[in-house]
A = this chain, B = another copy of it.
Amino acid sequence: MLGVTILGNNSAIPAYGRHPTAQVLITNTESFLIDCGEGTQMQMALYKIKKSKINCVFISHLHGDHYFGLIGFLTSQSLSGRKDELTIFGPPALQQIIQLQLNVADTILSYPLHFVPLTTETEIYKTTKISVHCFKVEHRIDCWGFFFKEIKNPRKIDAARCKSFEVPQAYFTKLQMGQDYVTQKGTIIKNKELTIAATPPKSYAYCADTIFLPSIATKIMGATLLYHEATYLTGLEELAAQRYHSTTTQAAQIALQAKAHKLLIGHFSSKYPSLTEFAIEAKTVFNNTELAVEGVTFII
């Protein structure tokens, strides 16, 4: 299972009850915090996010609406007595900012905090269940996108069939990988007799903040869910480009080119009291679009 809960969907200045960017990606085994604008810890409390379960934080860039809430999250976790380690992936200067603020407060965190500086497009995290790649997007300062991909064996065990053929459990992993089973008497039982096709691995691509950059599509090809910023409505392409942001239809074009299954748009400009037009416009280009509404969990 992959699901993403939106904690903040606004850009720059908080407005109309909308908060700066923050999301939580939940897998079967882990919780990832993606960006952490001011007030994220309060939003987590409001939407019942288990802060202590978060083991990795991914920060896209060092504009305040994407990280000003991080130091508060980190220190509150310490005040709550957290023991489990936490790893932050972000631009190199982030470590200096955090360390300086801990130093002046004479604070030693109650848990091990690791820091992985983002410097090149690569795989930055991997378990048996998930991998995370970072990739460059184009913003006024260095900014990173993240591509979270489930790792799955291609086949699922057909328990009834395995039982009838008396396949020992020790062989199950090999069967899940697609291998045939050879009985003690040397009989080959084809993999397809014992397994069924697994559902394809799900993926989540996160793209904030960026100018309209078609080359992004190749980096997140086939994403099950693509989050792409859409700061402005269509017609403000020039302003968007000046500020290294995108419009609704530009975000939708990236989804189309990346052959994404579904598009989520957010990072709405504070100039818009209502978000209705954002969905309408994006759907004209990519129909399976939803607004990143705060408090909503999108199952991927």
* Residue pair B38, A14 in contact (C-beta under 8 Å): no
Question: Other than the known A38-B41, A63-B105, A64-B101, what 6 A-B pairs have Cβ atoms closer than 8 Å?
Answer: A13-B76, A14-B41, A14-B42, A64-B72, A91-B104, A106-B141
Q: A62 to B105, Cβ gap below 8 A?
A: yes
**Chain B positions within 8 Å of A94 at CB level:** 104
Query: Chain A: residues with CB nearer than 8 A to chain B?
Result: 12-15, 19, 38-39, 41-42, 45, 62-64, 68-69, 71-72, 75-76, 79-80, 91, 93-94, 96-97, 100-101, 104-106, 140-141
Q: Is the CB of B80 within 8 A of A13?
A: yes
CB-defined A-B contacts under 8 Å, sample of 26:
A12-B76, A13-B41, A13-B76, A13-B79, A14-B42, A14-B76, A19-B42, A38-B41, A38-B42, A39-B39, A39-B42, A62-B105, A63-B105, A64-B72, A64-B101, A64-B105, A68-B72, A91-B104, A93-B100, A94-B104, A97-B97, A97-B100, A97-B101, A100-B100, A105-B141, A106-B141
Shortest CB-to-CB span from A77 to chain B, Å, is 9
Q: Which of B12, B19, B100, B140 contacts A79 (CB 8 A)?
A: B12
Contact of A38 among B15, B38, B80, B93 (CB under 8 A): B38
Contacts A13-B79, A13-B80, A62-B104 given; indicate if A38 touches B97 (C-beta within 8 A): no
Question: Are the C-beta atoms of B91 and A96 separated by less than 8 Å?
Answer: no
The distance in angstroms between the C-alpha atoms of A42 and B93, with both chains bound, is 27
Residues of chain B contacted by A14 (CB below 8 angstroms):
41-42, 45, 76
Q: How far is the CA of A76 from the CA of B75 in the complex (A)?
A: 23
Please measure, in the bound complex, the distance between the C-alpha atom of A96 and the C-alpha atom of B96, giving whole angstroms: 12
Cα of A100 to Cα of B105 in the assembled complex, Å = 16
A14, B75: Cα distance in complex, Å: 12
The residues of B that contact A13 with a CB separation of less than 8 Å are 41, 76, 79-80
Complex alpha-carbon distance, A14 and B19, angstroms: 16
List B contacts of A76 (CB < 8 A): 12-14
Q: Indicate if the CB atoms of A104 and B97 lie closer than 8 Å.
A: yes
Between A14, A38, A75, the greatest number of chain B beta carbons within 10 A of the residue's beta carbon is seen for A38
**Min C-beta distance of A63 to chain B, whole Å:** 5
Q: Which residues of B contact A71 (CB under 8 A)?
A: 64, 68
Chain B residue contacts of A62, Cβ below 8 A: 101, 104-105
For A12, list chain B residues within 8 Å (CB): 76, 79
Distance in angstroms between the alpha carbons of A102 and B69 in the assembled complex: 15
- Least Cβ–Cβ distance between A115 and chain B, in angstroms: 15
Residues on the B chain within 8 Å of A96, using CB: 100
Residues from chain B with a CB closer than 8 A to the CB of A42 are: 14, 19, 38-39
A12 to B15, CA, bound (A): 25
